[in-house]
Amino acid sequence: YDLVGLDNLVANTAYLRAQQVDYDELRKRRVSLTLPKPKNSSGLLLDRKYESVCEQQPIGRKLFQEFLLASNPQYVAAAEFPEELSHWRFAEDEAREKAKRSILAKFCQPESKSFLSYLTGEAAEICKNLSNKNFDEEALEQIKEATRDFLRGKPFLEFMKSPFFYRFLQWKEYEKQKITNKYFYEFRTLGKGGFGEVCAVQVKYTGQMYACKKLDKSRLKKKGGERFALLEKQILEKVNSLFIVNLAYSYNDKTHLCLVMDLMNGGDLKFHIYELGERGIRMERLIYYTAQITTGILHLHSMDVVYRDMKPENVLLDAKGQCRLSDLGLAVELPKGRTICQKAGTTGYMAPEILKQENYRISVDWWALGCSIYEMVAARLPFKDFREKVHNEEVTRRTLEDECKFEHKNFDDPTKDLISRFLRKKQLHRLGSRGEDPRSHRFFQSINFHRLEAGLVEPPWVPKSNVVYARNTDEFRDNSEVENIKFDAKDEKFFNEFSTGAVSVRWQKEMIDSGVFDELNDPKLNDKHNGTFVS
């Protein structure tokens, strides 16, 4: 018997089976779960801004909606209008016409009970003048803004005094629970990084699957990687994008710091270029992935973050076939209006300005994207052939001096043009470097970015649910010894700073998606707190 192969098979079976979540079974397991009472202090520490409570945090948003729907017709209309508007925006053809007729009839006719009667001044005029012919994006946006202004006034103040807000405080209290290894079931290793491995985990009481990146504390200390680990965590928890791996929890145990992130079980793009079927990625998929990657990079840049590690290996696919950027280990926040010159990146993807140790900002990511698109087409890099044994100095020389050649048969005109613009050697001449949006290039002609950003464009390729897109478990076995390193008070302080538990937005989304929110929020289960007001 091949025992190693058997180990791998067992690990894969457990991992694949865990992904078929039995929600009825889970529900039974958590019938006794109740929401804690909020501590007096927790309400005071809470960010009470309208944007944070009612827009950014999914549970706050839901409870605010419930509050509005349970109030007067005016509030109900203010709750329903933005929903129907976004429905219209993303709808196509017949459904779009229907959504439009519904908005006009419901919200713009003074005799309708959902008429937007709270609008005043210009917004009120615009609303009355909307018609089948005159139904433009800008006018609607103005009404939406006016609705927002209305909601953040009296309705928001009333909400904060209602039982719905008390319920929100309960959820916030629950969110603060301490996270340990006991919170998860652990499954097979999916990959290996510089400071430890990444394995699949599942939250016991919600069934939610995640990837857990474990950083070995001793190794971190020995190699001085603490600062970068903390930076990676801090940037990860700030991003909220469909195209970047999101952080759900950070915690630590005796030996490791742990980052719990979206599980990307469709494999990385490097694996897809070189290991599956014919080398390279066909054009339809390539355009789709590039569109998502570009949107993810733009999101980082909008936060003044440079990624610095753009390469197919760091782009991972999820179960649906959408991709996200991962591994923000080299990402840094740029000082306002200033440049940096630190050398960082991977050989073959580094821009001329990095190699020459010149000052740079975001331009290096667009260069690396150009190299990555090239690689997805040709299964080699512009200045380094696949598995070519070549010194870094020679790759540097070619990057600085040689023109990029497009010899592979799969390069078409728009793709060559886009890559050439990303591979301009001078930063200022490079597409994207001066803040222009690369997404208007004709390469992306087939993509509706509006729908893409809402996650509504069907992926051109979907991973098979019975395949594990990772190398066999035995290939990750680690034989290197780590000597026993002692930790002092300063280390402990750093471990605590790192271990902040659940990340609000992601955790709240997990509670809603898994049904836990609806179960615990059922007034019949939890009515002992109803009617309790917090001032």
Out of ligand ADP, Mg ion, none, what residue 459 binds, judged by CB under 5 to 8 A for its kind, is none
C-beta closer to ligand ADP: residue 152 or 192: 192
463 binds Mg ion (CB under 5 A): no
459 binds Mg ion (CB under 5 A): no
- Catalytically annotated residues: 309
Site string for Mg ion, 294-333 (x = CB under 5 A): ---------------------------------x-x----
Match 């195209």 to its residue by tokens: 243
Match 């202004």 to its residue by tokens: 149
- Phi and psi angles of residue 251, each rounded to the nearest 5 degrees, phi first: -155, 180
Distance CA 227, CA 316 (A): 25
C-beta separation of 498 from 230 below 8 A:
yes
At 472, list the tokens: 């066999």
Out of ligand ADP, Mg ion, none, what residue 455 binds, judged by CB under 5 to 8 A for its kind, is none
CB proximity list for 86: less than 8 A, separation 6 or greater: none
CB proximity list for 22: less than 8 A, separation 6 or greater: 207
Distance of closest approach, residue 413 Cβ to ligand ADP, in angstroms: 33
Count, residues near Mg ion per rule CB under 5 A: 2
DSSP state for residue 181 in the 8-state scheme? G
DSSP strand pairing (247-252 vs 305-306) = unpaired
Distance of closest approach, residue 211 Cβ to Mg ion, in angstroms: 12
C-beta closer to ligand ADP: residue 197 or 353: 197
Out of Mg ion, ligand ADP, none, what residue 80 binds, judged by CB under 5 to 8 A for its kind, is none
- CA distances for 76 relative to 99, 314, 316, angstroms: 18, 45, 41
Distance of closest approach, residue 269 Cβ to Mg ion, in angstroms: 12
C-beta separation of 123 from 143 below 8 A:
yes
Report CA 325 to chain centroid distance, whole Å: 8
226 binds Mg ion (CB under 5 A): no
Residues constituting the chain? 535
Distance CA 534, CA 140 (A): 36
At 164, list the tokens: 């719905």
CA atoms within 13 A on the CB side of 122: 8
Residues that bind ligand ADP (CB under 6 A): 190-195, 198, 211, 213, 245, 261-264, 268, 316, 326-327, 329
Distance CA 362, CA 435 (A): 9
Amino acid identity, position 196: G
Distance of closest approach, residue 313 Cβ to ligand ADP, in angstroms: 6
C-beta closer to ligand ADP: residue 316 or 350: 316
Out of ligand ADP, Mg ion, none, what residue 123 binds, judged by CB under 5 to 8 A for its kind, is none
Distance CA 126, CA 317 (A): 44
C-beta closer to ligand ADP: residue 291 or 323: 323
C-beta closer to Mg ion: residue 83 or 478: 478
Distance of closest approach, residue 156 Cβ to ligand ADP, in angstroms: 36
Site string for Mg ion, 35-64 (x = CB under 5 A): ------------------------------
At 139, list the tokens: 């006018």
- Phi and psi angles of residue 189, each rounded to the nearest 5 degrees, phi first: -70, 135
Q: Which residues of 142-159 are buried (b: 16+ CB within 10 A; e: fewer)?
A: bbeebbbebbeeebbeeb
C-beta closer to ligand ADP: residue 237 or 327: 327
- Phi and psi angles of residue 379, each rounded to the nearest 5 degrees, phi first: 55, 35
- Phi and psi angles of residue 193, each rounded to the nearest 5 degrees, phi first: -120, -170
268 binds Mg ion (CB under 5 A): no
C-beta closer to ligand ADP: residue 162 or 246: 246
Distance of closest approach, residue 229 Cβ to ligand ADP, in angstroms: 9
213 is in an annotated binding site: yes
Distance of closest approach, residue 534 Cβ to ligand ADP, in angstroms: 38
Distance of closest approach, residue 128 Cβ to ligand ADP, in angstroms: 50
CA atoms within 13 A on the CB side of 469: 23
Out of ligand ADP, Mg ion, none, what residue 262 binds, judged by CB under 5 to 8 A for its kind, is ligand ADP
Nearest Cα residue to 317 out of 273, 275, 269: 269
C-beta separation of 381 from 375 below 8 A:
yes
Out of ligand ADP, Mg ion, none, what residue 326 binds, judged by CB under 5 to 8 A for its kind, is ligand ADP
Out of Mg ion, ligand ADP, none, what residue 297 binds, judged by CB under 5 to 8 A for its kind, is none
Closest-approach residue to Mg ion (CB): 329
Match 């991962």 to its residue by tokens: 326
C-beta closer to ligand ADP: residue 19 or 448: 19
Q: Which residues of 261-272 are buried (b: 16+ CB within 10 A; e: fewer)?
A: bbbbbbbbbbbb
Out of ligand ADP, Mg ion, none, what residue 510 binds, judged by CB under 5 to 8 A for its kind, is none
Binding footprint of Mg ion on the chain (CB under 5 A): 327, 329
- Residue stretches of the annotated binding site: 213
- Residue stretches of the annotated binding site for ATP: 213
